[in-house]
Structure 1
Amino acid sequence: MHEYYPAAPAPKGELLTADGRKVSVSSLYLLRPVLLQFSRHLGCVFCIDHAKQLLKHYEMLKRHGIDIALIIMGDAKDAQTFHDTLKLTYPVYADPNQKVYRAFNVPRGNVWQVAGPQLWWEGLKALSRSGMGRPRGDLMQLGGSYLIDTNGQIVWSFRPTSSVEFPNIDEIVVAADTLSPIADA
Structure 2
Amino acid sequence: MKRTNSTIATEHPSWMTYVLLAAGIYNLAWGGWVVLRPMDLFDLTGIDRPLYPGIWQCVGMIVGVYGIGYAIAATDPYRHWPIVLVGFLGKSFGPIGMAYQFLVLAPGTTGRLPLQWGWVNVTNDLIWWLPFAVILYQTFKFWNAPARASEPESPSRLNELFRSQHGTTIAELSRQHPLLVVFLRHSGCTFCREALQDLREQRSRIEAEGTRIVLVHMGDDESSRSFFEAYDLGDVDRISDPECRLYRAYELGRGRIGQLFGLSVFWRGFMCAILNRHGVGKLDGDGFQMPGAFLVRDNEIVNAFRHRTAASRPDYCSVADPTVRSAPVESSSS
**RMSD over aligned Cα atoms:** 2.1
Higher-strand-fraction structure = 1
Q: Which residue of 1 aligns with 2:300?
A: 153
Q: Which residue of 1 aligns with 2:212?
A: 67
Q: Which residue of 1 aligns with 2:260?
A: 114
Q: Which residue of 1 aligns with 2:145?
A: none
Q: Which residue of 2 aligns with 1:182?
A: none
Q: Give the TM-score of the pair, scaled to structure 2.
A: 0.46
Flag structure 2 segments of 5+ consecutive residues without an equivalent: 1-153, 326-334
Identity %: 25
Which structure is richer in relative contact order (CA contacts within 8 A, separation 6 or more)? 1
Q: Which residue of 1 aligns with 2:179?
A: 34
1:18-97 paired onto structure 2 within 5 Å: 18=165, 23-88=168-233, 89-97=235-243
Q: Distance in 2 between matches of 1:90 and 1:55?
A: 10
CA deviations on 1:45-85 (whole Å, 9 max, x unpaired) are 11110111111110110111211111101121243132123
8 Å CA contact 1:12–1:24 kept in 2: the answer is: no
Q: Secondary structure at the match of 1:92?
A: strand
Count of matched residue positions in the alignment of Structure 1 and Structure 2:
167
Q: Give the TM-score of the pair, scaled to structure 1.
A: 0.80
Q: Distance in 2 between matches of 1:116 and 1:12?
A: 35
Higher Rg of the two aligned structures: 2
Q: Distance in 2 between matches of 1:72 and 1:50?
A: 12
Q: Secondary structure at the match of 1:142?
A: coil
8 Å CA contact 1:79–1:93 kept in 2: the answer is: no
Shift of 1:34: 0.3
Q: Which residue of 1 aligns with 2:290?
A: 142
8 Å CA contact 1:111–1:140 kept in 2: the answer is: no
CA deviations on 1:146-176 (whole Å, 9 max, x unpaired) are 1011x22211000111101131145225x32
Distance 1:16 1:148, change over 3 A: closer
Higher-helix-fraction structure = 2
Distance 1:133 1:176, change over 3 A: farther
Q: Which residue of 2 aligns with 1:6?
A: none
Q: Secondary structure at the match of 2:210?
A: coil
Shift of 1:23: 4.2
Q: Which residue of 2 aligns with 1:171?
A: 318
Shift of 1:22: 5.5
Flag structure 1 segments of 5+ consecutive residues without an equivalent: 1-8, 180-185
- Deviates further, 139-148 or 117-126: 117-126
Q: Distance in 2 between matches of 1:10 and 1:136?
A: 24
8 Å CA contact 2:305–2:319 kept in 1: the answer is: no
Q: Distance in 2 between matches of 1:17 and 1:109?
A: 26
Distance 1:113 1:159, change over 3 A: same
